């Protein structure tokens, strides 16, 4: 259906089309002279799509290999990255060869990171298979893994040479992970596109608009990443709802709301607070609440806002005595406000 071209030195093509998985090899062949391709995936995705992608690579003339690691965020650590690199060594990949990351954000982030550091960097391709990875993590070149000290604390910018998005893979995705993606999609609408917001509000079935919506989200991320690859300015807007969302996830010890659900609640709470302080057009929070409800996303957390603010003070995005908060002026228009940390409690207080 669509092709999006990311321009600049970190550029790449992003193809979005149902059934694209079957032609993965052919499309990857067009962008590389590699002899070998190592598919890195997890234990769930390998069963669903591993053989299909490997076969397609073989048919396109690659000598291909398949490596899978135990699915889930708990695997997102340096030990698994080492396993990936050892799989590259076992396959004797050279600088000319290529890694294919097949799976969700956990796979893409780690396989991308392993590719960034193996032989000081080899090429990789993303085939994202979760909604979140299709609209978000596969684009923009952020790779890495978690440490016991926190999420994504180690990593590198390493852009894929190609991103292949097959919306058909979402059919097998469990609901919990679909919600994650929908939370991020609503975020894109709120920060940049009233048109996308209206499409989400107006649709009868999400499946009908899936491809379109993926295209629009990727295009928004493309534009932001082209302007600000290393997150000095505009790229911060992608964190809308995340500072509070991360605090909710942490408060619940990552066993409560899923990421996208927590981001949804985060966007709603911060917009209520921002309306109360005169930064946002009245009625915006109600619109957000309506959309979250439409997609059966939660609109509340049991956590007390003071406790959440305390957790937010340790956010990775904190700079000295200020925290960069992303706010919306109205649906589709967003900005960054540097908030002194001693004003944070007051900012959220009216929301109680």
Ligand X SMILES: NC(=O)c1ccc[n+]([C@@H]2O[C@H](COP(=O)([O-])OP(=O)(O)OC[C@H]3O[C@@H](n4cnc5c(N)ncnc54)[C@H](O)[C@@H]3O)[C@@H](O)[C@H]2O)c1
Residues 23-42, interacting with ligand X (CB under 6 A): 42
CB of 134 to ligand X, least distance (A): 9
Residue (140 or 245) nearer to ligand X, CB: 140
Choices 62-70, 72-80, 193-201, 320-328 (CB under 6 A): range interacting with ligand X: 72-80
Residues 101-160, interacting with ligand X (CB under 6 A): 103-107, 109, 129-130, 132-133, 136-137, 140, 142, 151-152
CB of 72 to ligand X, least distance (A): 6
Q: Is 281 exposed, middle or buried (0-12, 13-18, 19+ CB in 10 A)?
A: middle
Residue (136 or 289) nearer to ligand X, CB: 136
Q: How far, in Å, CA of 79 to CA of 69, rounded?
A: 11
Tell me the CA distances in angstroms from 136 to 38, 61, 214, 234, 285, one per residue in order: 23, 30, 9, 15, 23
Q: How far, in Å, CA of 331 to CA of 189, rounded?
A: 7
Residue (43 or 330) nearer to ligand X, CB: 43
180 binds ligand X (CB under 6 A): yes
Residue with tokens 């799509």: 49
Q: Does an H or E element contain 26, and which?
A: helix 24-29
Residue (125 or 273) nearer to ligand X, CB: 125
Q: Is 252 exposed, middle or buried (0-12, 13-18, 19+ CB in 10 A)?
A: middle
249 binds ligand X (CB under 6 A): no
The size of the chain, in residues, is: 352
Please identify which residue in 164, 173, 267, 325 interacts with ligand X, judged by CB under 6 A.
173
Q: Give the binding site for ligand X (CB under 6 A).
A: 42, 44-45, 48, 71-73, 76, 103-107, 109, 129-130, 132-133, 136-137, 140, 142, 151-152, 169, 172-173, 177, 180
């Amino acid at each position: 259906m669509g092709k999006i071209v990311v321009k600049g030195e970190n550029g790449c093509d992003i193809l979005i089309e149902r059934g694209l998985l079957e032609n993965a090899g052919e499309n990857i062949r067009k962008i590389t002279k590699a002899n070998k391709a190592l598919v890195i995936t997890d234990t769930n995705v390998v069963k669903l799509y591993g053989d299909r992608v490997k076969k397609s690579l073989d048919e396109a003339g690659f000598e291909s290999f398949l490596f899978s690691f135990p699915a889930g965020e708990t695997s997102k650590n340096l030990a698994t990255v080492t396993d990936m690199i050892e799989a590259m060594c076992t396959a004797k990949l050279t600088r000319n060869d290529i890694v294919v990351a097949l799976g969700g954000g956990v796979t893409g982030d780690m396989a991308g990171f392993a590719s960034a550091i193996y032989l000081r960097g080899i090429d990789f391709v993303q085939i994202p298979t979760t909604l979140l990875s299709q609209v978000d993590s596969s684009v923009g070149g952020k790779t890495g893994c978690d440490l016991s000290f926190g999420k994504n604390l180690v990593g590198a910018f390493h852009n894929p040479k190609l991103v292949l998005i097959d919306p058909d893979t979402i059919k097998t995705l469990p609901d919990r992970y679909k919600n994650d993606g929908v939370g991020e999609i609503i975020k894109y609408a709120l920060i940049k596109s009233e048109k996308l917001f209206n499409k989400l509000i107006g649709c009868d079935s999400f499946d009908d608009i899936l491809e379109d919506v993926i295209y629009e989200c990727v295009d928004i991320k493309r534009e932001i990443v082209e302007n600000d690859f290393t997150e000095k300015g505009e790229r911060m807007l992608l964190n809308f709802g995340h500072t509070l969302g991360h605090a909710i996830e942490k408060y619940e010890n990552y066993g409560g709301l899923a990421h996208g659900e927590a981001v949804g609640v985060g966007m709603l709470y911060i917009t209520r607070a921002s309306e109360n302080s005169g930064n946002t057009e009245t009625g915006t929070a109600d619109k957000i609440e309506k959309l979250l409800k439409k997609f059966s996303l939660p609109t509340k957390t049991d956590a007390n806002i003071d406790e959440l603010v305390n957790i937010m003070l340790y956010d990775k995005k904190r700079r000295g005595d200020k925290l960069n908060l992303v706010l919306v002026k109205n649906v589709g228009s967003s900005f960054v406000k540097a908030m002194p940390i001693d004003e944070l409690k007051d900012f959220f207080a009216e929301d109680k």
